[in-house]
Amino acid sequence: MTNLLHDIEEVEWLFPFDYMSRGESFFIPTVRPAPMVYAIDVAAKKAGVRVKTHTTTHEGCLGVRVWRLD
């Protein structure tokens, strides 16, 4: 029997930093906010933008809200 978890590929996240103005935000629903915050921080650093993240709920869903700071 094969382990199906090994066959599932990790999701590649595309964040809209290039299309955002300073102060705009987006929300990503997730049940694992800490790894998502890390992924956002890494992507923001690569894109050369500063962001602020906050774990919160939106319409009853746990997730991460991301603001572009510059």
DSSP string of 1-66, one letter each residue = ---HHHHSPPPPP---GGGPPTT-EEEEE-S-HHHHHHHHHHHHHHHT--EEEEEEEETTEEEEEE
The pLDDT score that the predictor gives to residue 12 is 77
Prediction pTM value: 0.81
Q: Is residue 59 part of a domain?
A: yes
Q: Please give the residue range of the domain that contains residue 21.
A: 11-68
pLDDT in tens, 8-54: 666 778 999 999 999 999 999 999 999 999 999 999 999 999 999 99
Q: Is the pLDDT of residue 1 over 80?
A: no
Q: Is residue 49 part of a domain?
A: yes
Give the whole-angstrom CA distance, residue 69 versus residue 58.
21
Q: Is residue 21 part of a domain?
A: yes
Total domains, the chain: 1
Q: Is residue 5 part of a domain?
A: no
Q: Is the pLDDT of residue 2 over 60?
A: no
Q: Is residue 3 part of a domain?
A: no
Q: Is residue 4 part of a domain?
A: no
